[in-house]
Chains A and B, each alone.
Chain A
Amino acid sequence: AQTVTQSQPEMSVQEAETVTLSCTYDTSESNYYLFWYKQPPSRQMILVIRQEAYKQQNATENRFSVNFQKAAKSFSLKISDSQLGDTAMYFCASRMAQGAQKLVFGQGTRLTINP
């Protein structure tokens, strides 16, 4: 079974700072996907970034990047030059590459960007 753990319930930083959200996971699969989703107060889940486990290179999307440590089963999200619009709940999630396609989500981290 897959499990995803986010150990930081809340974080708060000043605008323009860099912030890192932590995520660890457990799976017996060799190939899988990892994701970070953002849920602003409007509550729609938005995909931030995606990582395929077989790729060693860390995924990057503009100000968002991940630090994927496969051996440690760690998948942290770094947000650079944080903006007020980054304020949201952030969920880490995993999905097997084959078979059942459901996402397993972590508990979430509430990130607040202060002006």
Chain B
Amino acid sequence: SAVISQKPSRDICQRGTSLTIQCQVDSQVTMMFWYRQQPGQSLTLIATANQGSEATYESGFVIDKFPISRPNLTFSTLTVSNMSPEDSSIYLCSVERVPGELFFGEGSRLTVL
């Protein structure tokens, strides 16, 4: 298994502001994944973050809206920029420790007013 810590656990933000979510893993991993789970919905991959290179974004997600940093092999951040109420979601960080098995953090619940 993997221990994945996310901060903040939850936050309430005003529209037009930005929030950075942190993800810390207890050991080095090559790739980290950021998912979004909108209210009552399933999980959708936002982007894949490799250390030392630009993140790879999925269709419908862009770097200007969701900039990602990956400064080392145990840490990543996801910023939700210029937030609107539609960005209210749970954002989850995950890593693949064993091929084919993802481990998830507890998620960051974001509410935008």
Which A residues have a C-beta under 8 Å from some C-beta of B?
A: 33, 35, 42-47, 50, 52, 91, 95, 97, 101-103, 105-108
Secondary structure class of chain B's binding surface, majority of residues: strand
Contact A102 B106, CB 8 Å, known A91-B43, A97-B100: no
> CB-nearest residue of chain A relative to B56?
A100
- Is B92's beta carbon under 8 Å from chain A? yes
> CB-nearest residue of chain B relative to A45?
B104
Tell me if A103 and B107 are in contact (CB < 8 A): no
Q: How many A-B residue pairs have CB under 8 A?
A: 47
Which B residues have a C-beta under 8 Å from some C-beta of A?
A: 31, 33, 41-45, 48, 58, 90, 92, 94, 96, 100-107, 109
Contact A42 B96, CB 8 Å, known A47-B101, A102-B45: no
Tell me if B100 and A33 are in contact (CB < 8 A): yes
Contact A42 B42, CB 8 Å, known A47-B101, A102-B48: no
Contact A103 B102, CB 8 Å, known A91-B43, A108-B42: yes
- CB-CB < 8 A to B92: which residues of A? 45
In the A-B complex, the 3 residue pairs with the closest CB atoms: A45-B104, A33-B100, A105-B42
Tell me if A101 and B105 are in contact (CB < 8 A): no
Q: Would you give the shortest CB distance from A111 to chain B, in whole angstroms?
A: 15
Tell me if A105 and B101 are in contact (CB < 8 A): no
Interface centre among B33, B45, B48 (most CB of A within 10 A): B45
